[in-house]
Amino acid sequence: MISLWHGVAAGLAGGVLFTGVMVTVGFLPTVASLVGSGSAAVGLVLHLLISQVVGVTYALFFRRRSFDAASGIGWGVSYGLLWWILGNLTLLPVLLGAGPRWSAAALAESFPSLVGHLAYGAVLGLVYQRLEARVSPWHLTRSQAAAARATARREQTLSAAPALWSLVACVALLVPVLVA
């Protein structure tokens, strides 16, 4: 249960950072239109609520997966990319009565949103990892916790996680090149 609250807090932290991008590109009224409003204030509240819900889903999927700041950021950025594709390019247009936005022009237009989603994910993953590390599973003695973290890092390094993080970084860097 505490991990879900950590997800809420981490999602809110990421959402606050992402708000800067949304204000800069004037996207908050579009978010507000999901509930029939055109107000930027309503869009901000809705955006922060969505950020918290995404943070909770992150907590459900990535609990005990981040053993240090780098892995937290890696998982978070990966999740941010997923939500850019799922949210901004797919669900948002469908909920607003249009089809998914998968054209090159739509990708180019939503590049600021990609930057915002990746920054959101980085903050989400880092804050969640820091909060989780305070309570679980490293509440053992220092030597037991260090041994457990070393084992977990070794297992993670031997898994597909680093390859996934590299793929996400490549995709994020290639999007502007592909749509140019």
**pTM higher than 0.85 for the full model?**
no
**pLDDT score, position 8:** 97
Considering only 7-11, 13-17, 73-77, 121-125, which range has the smallest mean pLDDT? 73-77
Mean pLDDT on 81-110: 91
120 pLDDT higher than 90: yes
Judge whether residue 165 has pLDDT over 90: no
CA distances from 3 to 56, 73, 77 (A): 8, 17, 19
Q: Which segment of 50-54, 126-130, 160-164 scores lowest on mean pLDDT? A: 160-164
Q: CB-based contacts of 82: which residues, under 8 Å, 6+ apart?
A: none
User: What's the gap between Cα 122 and its chain centre?
Assistant: 6
Question: Where along the chain do its domains lie?
Answer: 2-179
Average pLDDT, the chain: 86
Beta-carbon contacts of residue 89 (< 8 Å; ≥ 6 apart): 100, 101, 102, 106, 107, 110
Separation between Cα atoms, residue 29 and residue 102, nearest integer Å: 22
Query: What was the pLDDT predicted at 180?
Result: 65
What tokens does 80 get?
A: 């941010």
